[in-house]
Amino acid sequence: MTSKHVVDRPQPDPDAALRTEALYMLNRYSHEIAELRARRLAVQDLQFDSMLQRMATPDEAEHGQALLDGGPELQVAAVRAGIGLCYPNRSSRQEWYSRYYDLLPVGELVQRLLRRKLQYSEADVVWIAQRLAQVNEDWQLLSMAPISLRSVLRSIERWSRDHALSAEATDALATLHDNLRRGHLDSEAVRAVELLDTLLGHAAEEAWDARDDFGGALQQWLDAQPAASRSDWTEALARIGALPGARPTKTWLADIAALTEALGRDVFVANAIDWLALLHGPGRNSEYKRPDGYDYPSSYIADRNADLLKGLAWACSTISDERLPVALGDAALACYKKIPNIGARSTKAGNACVHALAASASMPAVAQLQRLAQRVKLASQRKQIDQALATAADELGLDAGDLDEISVQSHGLVDGRVTRTFGDFTAELTVTGSDSVDLHWRKPDGGVQKSVPAAVKREHASEVKALNRERKELREALAVQRMRLERLMLFERAWPLATWRERYLDHPLVSQFARRLIWAFETDDSTSLGCWLDGELVGPDDEPLGPLVPETQVRLWHPIESDAAGVLGWRDWLDRQQRTQPFKQAHREIYVLTDAERETATYSNRFAAHVLRQHQLNALCQERGWSYQLQGAWDSFNVPALELSEVGLRAEYWVEGIDAEDDSGLSHAYIYLYVSTDQVRFADAQSGASVSLDEVPPRVFSEVMRDVDLFVGVASVGADPHWLDGGPGRLEGYQGYWWDVSFGDLTARAEVRRDTLARLLPRMAKLTDRWTLDGRFLRVRGDLRSYKIHLGSGNILMEPNDEYLCIVPGRSASNTPRSDGLFLPFEGDQTLAVILSKALMLAEDTKINDPTIVRQIGRAA
């Protein structure tokens, strides 16, 4: 008898043919995308910044569209085939490296499919999990793969909500989890581990990480709570930190609304403010190890805490309480604060605070966004704030200009003062300048003292702390509004008379500036200029303007609109009334087209061929609203640019890094210390096409060129008294340039400074017989020598042999340049203050005690 043996044969895979078809379609799709992109890149005059926008997408390729429109089985097969291509095994890695760029569009298509609810089989999930685990033997490949690991795991997690994972799939995912934890994790891998923890049912970690400063302070706060409520707050924080994605879903918002209702709205708000305030604690000055394996300072916000802060910010956005926007604004600043050699403490948490403020769509929230727009300097963070302001404007149905104006808070000011009572004592906050607020205390008998009374300190400690914060907020608000009003010099924005009075002339805070500025009042048949004086609007002859009809339109006056006599008339009026303007208006520099600029037509070389200190240029760009990023040895193309959306233009000032052969022109981080300057250009904001200079509105042209003049005047090496002395970073071969700028022809800014000095110096008793204005110089006669102070750079030559005298102004508050109480008609010209300070000191050169200066003058110490 012949025995029969039963042989187990592998069962045929019914989906193999479908996966082969999907693989073929993916390869054809990749080829189609390559052809489309090659054709588009061949188009002449293709701008680099629009190149990516013209790249092909999956929808534009025949086979890509076929896969997107295919049935559920084909889409799953395409995902498996795509993962097989984009996550190589050992045998295919060499081919994978050679095809990497061809696989990028495959990854883009597969990620589109992964966002859908795919109908995997158990075998599909096992195969995907095993493939990922296999690739992760070389974990760095995961960070390079064209398909995001998180996208794959999210897709499996969605499937697992309705299906149980098999033992095989669980083992493969556990292997992937362990391999990831052993590597240096980037942010992508950290999120992948969290997803794997969810899939594998690992016990959830605390909603916060107690190792950084914020988490440690939060843990101390919880430990101090009564035992009965501690668990409630622990659970609340866990729910807040469980925000999925960058923005809240309706389900999450409903959950948080129920949470705050259960906890008590007022209690939740008070605690939320306390939690956000923990970001401003003193810190522990320690380190902790992040998932990437590196040690970070404890001031750096850990990933879990960033998620918690993100959820907390969005939770605050759902509650209307005037205290929360201030807390969110402070938290955003704390999160954006830079840690040396690392970056922001947490960009994620800072951005969440910003966008939560926008979602609040309230005037206090907008005020905080405007405050952030002035304080935050990094371009990427500013972009988030600008987007948030635009979102808030849309939510409120306003344009950006109206939003800026109606959101300005009064801060409790009445006639420039805020009064607060503390028992028998009264505190007065008084606005004394464009960014200064004095605090005085009045005794019960009305007497004034500057220090906090002992009784107030003892009995009202928390209220005094709140008062000091109020003073700080008022100073910041003044600085924001001063910059906003000066920005109005760029454009011809007009208001109906009643609106202007409400938002400017009579506004408790803005009036501190508006009443010191000159305004144009226009009707159909006339225009008159006026400034506020003793309760009425007057012209330069001190005569009242008379009744203004309701139809009058009001604009901020720019001197480019008037002739020389009209401008001088207002300068005389400011001198006569001893009126200090918050920024240069009547004394503002004016820049008009030159014959050379009409000849070049589309660019100006007026400020070309200068050498600027790049870090100072970057700081000035941020201050004046220009976008710019520091250039380094790896990045030699970046242009300072100012967006002029109101007129559909963009201004550009071309600069290029200067690279010395011995690396003396580079910082330790390989950032260029110096840049050389080239053309100023204007371009269409939409197309990027060059615009002829004579098509640029004169007011806009003048203000842009004024900014560029400021960049050169402040950032040029010619303005650095120490630069000629050498030392690290000084470029060889530029000594001639330094002399030309330090003592050469005056710019428009310096010419205005000379005219101002001509008015000021006759009033200075100490200089009456010791000064002379001579062309580019202020000549000062001391007892030991005579001196020439250049009106552009503020640098000094000593007579009779024009020997250079190096005097560097101090930077601390105690070293503010002295002007001996002399009236100045405008604020903001630091060089003018430095020149006056130097003149006063050199006129009494026998009293100078600084040994460095004494040695240079030649008098024995």
Residue 10 confidence (pLDDT) above 50: no
Return d(Cα 840, Cα 834) in angstroms, integer. Answer: 10
Nearest to 304 by CA among 208, 232, 396: 208
At 770, the pLDDT band (50, 70, 90 cuts) reads: confident
Q: Are strands 796-799 and 803-805 parallel, antiparallel or unpaired?
A: antiparallel
The pLDDT assigned to 802 comes to: 85
Residues whose CB is less than 8 angstroms from the CB of residue 799 and which lie 6 or more positions away in sequence, other chains included: 785, 786, 787, 788
The pLDDT assigned to 729 comes to: 47
From residue 70, alpha-carbon distances to 18, 29, 104, 461 in Å are: 12, 14, 21, 70
At 119, the pLDDT band (50, 70, 90 cuts) reads: very high
The pLDDT assigned to 331 comes to: 95
Return d(Cα 614, Cα 658) in angstroms, integer. Answer: 10
Residue 597 confidence (pLDDT) above 90: yes
Read off the pLDDT of each residue in 413-441 and give the average, rounded to a whole number.
Answer: 91
CA 64 to chain centre: 40
Please give, one letter per residue, the 3-state secondary structure of 372-398. HHHHCCCHHHHHHHHHHHHHHHHHHCC
Nearest to 300 by CA among 330, 351, 344: 344
678 phi and psi angles, rounded to 5 deg? -135, -130
Residues whose CB is less than 8 angstroms from the CB of residue 99 and which lie 6 or more positions away in sequence, other chains included: none
Most confident of 2-11, 811-820, 844-853: 844-853
pLDDT tens by residue, 182-220? 666 666 777 788 788 888 887 566 778 889 999 999 999
DSSP state of 302: P
Task: Look up residue 718 and give its amino acid.
Answer: G
pLDDT tens by residue, 680-733? 999 998 888 999 999 999 999 999 999 999 999 889 888 777 776 654 445 666
Helix spans in 686-734 (H): 698-715
Q: Yes or no: say if 665 and 673 are a contact pair by the CB < 8 Å rule.
A: yes
Read off the pLDDT of each residue in 256-283 and give the average, rounded to a whole number.
Answer: 91
Return d(Cα 757, Cα 754) in angstroms, integer. Answer: 5
Read off the pLDDT of each residue in 616-642 and give the average, rounded to a whole number.
Answer: 85
Read off the pLDDT of each residue in 13-17 and give the average, rounded to a whole number.
Answer: 72
Return d(Cα 600, Cα 834) in angstroms, integer. Answer: 37
At 44, the pLDDT band (50, 70, 90 cuts) reads: very low
More confident residue, 462 or 143: 462
The pLDDT assigned to 6 comes to: 40
DSSP state of 784: S
Angle at CA of residue 42, ends 40 and 46, nearest 5°:
75
Return d(Cα 407, Cα 481) in angstroms, integer. Answer: 11
Q: Yes or no: say if 359 and 317 are a contact pair by the CB < 8 Å rule.
A: yes
CA Rg, the chain, in Å?
33
**Token couple for 293:** 């394996």
Q: Yes or no: say if 155 and 118 are a contact pair by the CB < 8 Å rule.
A: yes
Helix spans in 87-148 (H): 93-98, 100-114, 122-135, 140-144
Residue 631 confidence (pLDDT) above 50: yes
Least confident span in 161-165, 299-303, 540-544, 633-637: 633-637
At 378, the pLDDT band (50, 70, 90 cuts) reads: confident
Largest CA distance in the chain: 137
Residue 817 confidence (pLDDT) above 60: no
Nearest to 318 by CA among 349, 262, 362: 362
At 807, the pLDDT band (50, 70, 90 cuts) reads: confident
- List the end-to-end C-alpha distance of the chain, in Å, as a whole number: 126
pLDDT tens by residue, 313-372? 999 999 999 899 999 999 999 999 999 888 899 999 999 999 999 998 788 899 899 889
Give me the numbers of helices (H) and strands (E) for the chain, helices first please: 33, 23
The pLDDT assigned to 4 comes to: 44
Read off the pLDDT of each residue in 740-746 and give the average, rounded to a whole number.
Answer: 83
Residues whose CB is less than 8 angstroms from the CB of residue 379 and which lie 6 or more positions away in sequence, other chains included: 627, 628, 629
DSSP three-state, residue 36: helix
At 632, the pLDDT band (50, 70, 90 cuts) reads: confident
Least confident span in 309-318, 439-448, 511-520, 665-674: 665-674
Residues whose CB is less than 8 angstroms from the CB of residue 726 and which lie 6 or more positions away in sequence, other chains included: none
Nearest to 330 by CA among 385, 280, 397: 280
From residue 506, alpha-carbon distances to 211, 426, 429, 494, 513 in Å are: 51, 26, 19, 17, 11
The pLDDT assigned to 271 comes to: 93
Q: Which residues pair with 430 in a beta bridge?
A: 417, 438
Buried b (16+ CB within 10 A) or exposed e, 744-775: eebbbbbebbbebbeebbeebeebeebbeeee
Question: Average model confidence (pLDDT) for the chain?
Answer: 85
CA neighbours closer than 13 Å in the CB half-sphere of residue 815: 8
The pLDDT assigned to 730 comes to: 56
DSSP three-state, residue 596: helix
Task: Look up residue 693 and give its amino acid.
Answer: L
The pLDDT assigned to 86 comes to: 86
The pLDDT assigned to 7 comes to: 41
249 phi and psi angles, rounded to 5 deg? -90, 170
Return d(Cα 598, Cα 610) in angstroms, integer. Answer: 22
At 102, the pLDDT band (50, 70, 90 cuts) reads: confident
pLDDT tens by residue, 573-588? 999 999 999 999 999 9
Residues in the chain: 861
pLDDT tens by residue, 500-522? 999 999 999 999 999 999 999 99
Q: Where are the beta strands (DSSP E) in 357-500?
A: 417-422, 425-431, 437-442, 448-449, 494-496
The pLDDT assigned to 441 comes to: 92
**Token couple for 722:** 């120490």
The pLDDT assigned to 821 comes to: 60
At 50, the pLDDT band (50, 70, 90 cuts) reads: very low
DSSP three-state, residue 511: helix
Read off the pLDDT of each residue in 799-806 and give the average, rounded to a whole number.
Answer: 86
Read off the pLDDT of each residue in 401-419 and give the average, rounded to a whole number.
Answer: 89
pLDDT tens by residue, 723-734? 766 544 456 667
At 766, the pLDDT band (50, 70, 90 cuts) reads: low
The pLDDT assigned to 709 comes to: 92
The pLDDT assigned to 861 comes to: 37
Task: Look up residue 336 and give its amino acid.
Answer: Y
* pLDDT-above-90 percentage for the chain: 38
Number of Cβ atoms within 10 Å of the Cβ of 468? 14
